[in-house]
Amino acid sequence: MSPKIAVIVGPTGGIGSAVVEAVKASGSYDEVVGLGRQSNPPLDLVDEMTIKASADHLKSLEGEVRLVFDASGALALDGSRPEKSLREIDPAHLARSYAVNTIGPALLMKHFLPLFPREGRCVFATLSARVGSIGDNRLGGWYAYRAAKAGLNQIVRTAAIELSRRNPEAIAVALHPGTVRTSLTEKFTKTGLEVQEPGVAARRLLQVVEGLSSAETGCFFDHLGKPIAW
């Protein structure tokens, strides 16, 4: 049996670093590879050539890629805050949010999903956000982030359909991690909201991933495994 490889994109972030530790602690994979701007090779979500180079690097490893966990994403970019109204929409910020939260993960799918073997269970999981749900949107605001995550959800759904034609046991899902205590979320947490430590969130997310069946590919779940409306 070939060694099993797990790949974590964004391994130095608050959630990503905790996911790396959780995957290692699970003992389910023979090798855990972290890919980000400081890794070797480096991976930058807004530079497709670095994503391709990272995929080529993974091809050179001994074993099969069975898990790709994308822990990337950003709410506040370049010092900006989420919009509260239409008048705050800025085209540059909107484009930047799409580049990081939608296009980057789409390029990961483009280059990493073909690495999955044609047989056997393998999972691609990417961090989305509940605010990306159109059906669950009752408060408005946060235009760029909501739209970018909604776009990501559609790409995951579409990629899952294509992936299943290649390997019926393969799974691609979007995950909402809940509110996690990191430097990026400090300013946006509300009183009464459950704020998880990164290690708790990572273990919950990995438990969801480990419990997925091929029938659940292309779906959107929270950190407790509950489905979220599109």
| Residue 151 CA: distances (Å) to CA of 22, 29, 88, 129, 140 | 28, 31, 20, 11, 17
Alpha helices in 7-90 (DSSP H): 14-26, 48-59
| Residue 104 CA: distances (Å) to CA of 50, 64, 119, 151, 165 | 11, 23, 26, 11, 23
How far is residue 118's CA from residue 31's CA, in Å, rounded to a whole number?
20
- 105: nearest Cα among 70, 134, 129: 70
What is the domain-level CATH number for residue 155?
A: 3.40.50.720
pLDDT band at 44 (very low <50, low <70, confident <90, very high): very high
Domain around 85? 4-222
Total-model pTM? 0.94
Look at residue 44 and tell me if it is in a domain. Answer: yes
pLDDT band at 190 (very low <50, low <70, confident <90, very high): low
Q: What is the pLDDT of residue 36?
A: 97
Total of domains in the chain: 1
Percent of the chain past pLDDT 70, that is, above it, reads: 95
Look at residue 74 and tell me if it is in a domain. Answer: yes
Whether residue 76 is predicted with pLDDT greater than 90 in this model: the reply is no
Look at residue 207 and tell me if it is in a domain. Answer: yes
Look at residue 138 and tell me if it is in a domain. Answer: yes
Look at residue 229 and tell me if it is in a domain. Answer: no
Look at residue 228 and tell me if it is in a domain. Answer: no
